[in-house]
Amino acid sequence: MDINNRIVTMLKENYNIEVTRIEQQTGGWSALAFFIEDKERNYFLKVYNKNKPSVVQWIDAIDGCTPLVKWLHDYTELNNNIVNPIFTKFDGNKCEDESFVYLLSEYVEGATIGENPLSTNQVNELARILGLLHQSTSKVSNKLREQQTVEDFGIEYCDLLSSFIHYDLDKKDDVVLEIVKPYCNCLLDKIDRMMFLSKTLYNKAHKYVLCHADAHNWNIMQGENLMLIDWECVKLAPQEQDLILVVTEPYAKQFLKVYKKYMNYDTPDIDAYEFYFLKRKLEDIWEWIKDLRFEGLVKSEDITLKLLRSTLIECSQADSFRTDIEKAL
């Protein structure tokens, strides 16, 4: 059964939706995306492939993040900045068949920011959204809070990347070997640095807040309002988890000025900023290596190789990161 027929069957059985139109849209790295229309309204559907190992973590996150997103939509000032999840007729967060997991939400007209820079108004609105999100932490019920992942500064991906470099990289003479080989020493140095930062941060006292943990431009959509989408990474973590994606931008000071209207932030943790900066680079590098070597491509090979190359270069130029962040703050 092709994917469209699966979707029609799944929506009828689980949501009583009679599909009149399906259009596949540009998806992310974790899921396929579809526009769904019936006679009365439009929907947005994410479809996760259960047979892709790296997607399992995002599927596992759905039962924790979806009720939280629903609560944030219904009971906070973020209701106009979050896409409303739709539960099944059995009150389930998702539904599934033998091959896929399906997650349905309301459809919102708009376009992701993507590679475009944020405007001044968008910077201010993003600061408000993240400020309100972090501020809402104390209002969340214990039940919802207990469902969320808590930051433990784990770096399992570093172990996997290190093992790949030492034992698997040279086993195949391909473009991955060609691209990654010149950066092996740099990557191993950054992995050593992550081991130090992980231990340091684990032993520190932190103020944990609800973090989206993936608030980059591809997860920000401009419609009638600015929308923060794709919540599978949500967790309880230090504020730096969300702020790392903005403090390296030219608009950092403007963002923080607005953010502090909603959330106190007097003592930035530079160790945490460095940890989350390197984490994103190394996780991305490992993800793209897996796609190219082991699990199959999500995007085209050209796009994946381009991203791998550019992130390796960024990683090799990261030695001045701490100094740059201190100046930015």
Distances (CA, A) of 100 to 16, 94, 103, 128, 284: 19, 11, 10, 35, 24
Residue 145, phi then psi, degrees to nearest 5: -60, -40
Q: Are residues 88 and 188 in the same domain?
A: no
Q: Are residues 156 and 72 in the same domain?
A: no
Q: Are residues 89 and 128 in the same domain?
A: no
Q: Are residues 155 and 103 in the same domain?
A: no
pLDDT, position 219: 95
Full-model pTM: 0.94
* Domain membership flag for residue 113: no
Domain region containing 82: 3-108
Q: At what angle do helices 240-247 and 252-259 cross, to 10 degrees?
A: 140
Into how many domains does the chain fold?
Answer: 2
Closest CA to 165 of 317, 315, 300: 315
Distances (CA, A) of 193 to 53, 102, 155, 205, 279: 27, 38, 11, 20, 11
Beta carbons of 265 and 329 less than 8 angstroms apart:
no
Query: Mind listing the pLDDT tens digit for each residue in 138-165?
Result: 999 999 999 999 999 999 999 999 999 9
- How many other β-carbons are positioned within 10 Å of the β-carbon of residue 95? 19
Q: Are residues 303 and 252 in the same domain?
A: yes
* Domain membership flag for residue 72: yes
Angle at 245 between CA 254 and CA 94, to 5 degrees: 125
Angle at 253 between CA 198 and CA 119, to 5 degrees: 110
The last residue of a domain, from among 66, 82, 108: 108
The last residue of a domain, from among 53, 80, 108: 108
* Domain membership flag for residue 115: no
CA–chain centroid gap for 108, Å, is 19
Domain of 127: which CATH number? 3.90.1200.10
Cβ-count burial 254-287 (b if 16+ within 10 Å, e if not):
bbbebbeebbebeebbebbbbbbbbbbbbebbbb
* Domain membership flag for residue 12: yes
* Domain membership flag for residue 57: yes
Q: Are residues 74 and 162 in the same domain?
A: no
pLDDT, position 98: 93
Q: Are residues 146 and 64 in the same domain?
A: no
Distances (CA, A) of 74 to 97, 184, 313: 29, 48, 43
Cβ-count burial 223-242 (b if 16+ within 10 Å, e if not):
eeebbbbbbbbbbbbbbbbb
- How many other β-carbons are positioned within 10 Å of the β-carbon of residue 151? 19
Q: What distance in Å separates the CA atoms of residue 266 and residue 271, rounded to the nearest whole number?
A: 15
Q: Are residues 183 and 298 in the same domain?
A: yes
pLDDT, position 1: 67
Q: Are residues 104 and 125 in the same domain?
A: no
Query: Mind listing the pLDDT tens digit for each residue in 308-326?
Result: 999 999 999 999 999 888 8
Q: What distance in Å separates the CA atoms of residue 231 and residue 212, rounded to the nearest whole number?
A: 6
pLDDT, position 313: 97
Beta carbons of 199 and 229 less than 8 angstroms apart:
no
Q: What parts of the chain have a pLDDT lower than 70?
A: 1
The last residue of a domain, from among 86, 108, 130: 108
Q: Are residues 185 and 235 in the same domain?
A: yes
Q: Are residues 94 and 228 in the same domain?
A: no
Query: Mind listing the pLDDT tens digit for each residue in 4-21?
Result: 999 999 999 999 999 999
pLDDT, position 328: 78
* Domain membership flag for residue 114: no
Q: Are residues 196 and 62 in the same domain?
A: no
* Domain membership flag for residue 287: yes
Query: Does the CA dihedral 287-288-292-296 come out positive or negative?
Result: positive
Token pair listed for 36: 């769904």
Domain of 72: which CATH number? 3.30.200.20
C-alpha neighbours within 13 Å on the C-beta side of residue 247: 26
Q: What is the DSSP letter of 100?
A: E
